[in-house]
Amino acid sequence: MAISSNMHDDIEETLISEADLQARVRELAAAIQRDYAGKDLVLLGILRGAIMFMTDLARQLSMPLNMDFMAISSYGNATESSGVVRILKDLDDAIEHKHVLIVEDIIDTGLTLRYLMEILENRNPASLAVCALLDKVKEREKLIAPMYTGFEIPDRFVVGYGLDFAQKYRNLPYIGVLKPSVYSE
């Protein structure tokens, strides 16, 4: 693994630019603002990948809301999600009777989210929905929750704007694909 001193040098291709990300976040916020007007909204960010998206989204919303975070890890190996989730950090506050919007970085197989939603449904929120920045286009069973999606992307491994490779590249302001040399050397 060879990570350059300038992260941008490791990017083969920019998939979504910073300007496009920011424009789409504003659109998503407008839809959320409309749908949740007058409701007691909790933005539930999934650590660590959703941090950039969560903070940008929250700043575009003008209604009062709560922000809470969960850290989860998926059992299984690094590349394949098993769909069984271990909670590393739980929410600080109860969500009973609250309108909960899960803010997630990316949906791949959808297994992580499905399992997480089961756990959260058992806590009796008033409603439970998902706002995912990226959605990999692939065959999967439909998620039951209503959903906001930022961008549909091809089934490639992406980094940036919260998403990591070996815990690096989260601070890239755009979404990109790594050069193969980063993995192989």
Per the listing, tokens 């286009």 go with 137
Shortest CB 32 distance to ligand 5GP, Å: 20
What does the DSSP 8-state code read for residue 54?
H
Distance set, CA 52 to CA 45, 124, 162, 177 (Å): 10, 28, 5, 18
Shortest CB 62 distance to ligand 5GP, Å: 28
Shortest CB 88 distance to ligand 5GP, Å: 13
The H or E element spanning position 74 is: strand 66-74
Annotation says 35 is catalytic:
no
Q: Which amino acid is at 40?
A: D
> Which chain residues interact with ligand 5GP by CB under 6 A?
49, 74, 81, 104-113, 157-159, 163-164
Cβ closer to ligand 5GP: 55 or 109?
Answer: 109
Q: Residue 110: which residues within 8 A CB-CB, separation 6 or more?
A: 140, 141, 143
Spatial contact of 133 and 150, defined as CB atoms under 8 Å apart:
yes
- Give the C-alpha separation, 155 to 46, whole Å: 21
Choosing from 108, 135, 155, 164, the catalytic residue is 108
Shortest CB 20 distance to ligand 5GP, Å: 17
Q: Can you name the residues that pair with 149 across neighbouring β-strands?
A: 132
Question: Which residues carry out catalysis?
Answer: 108
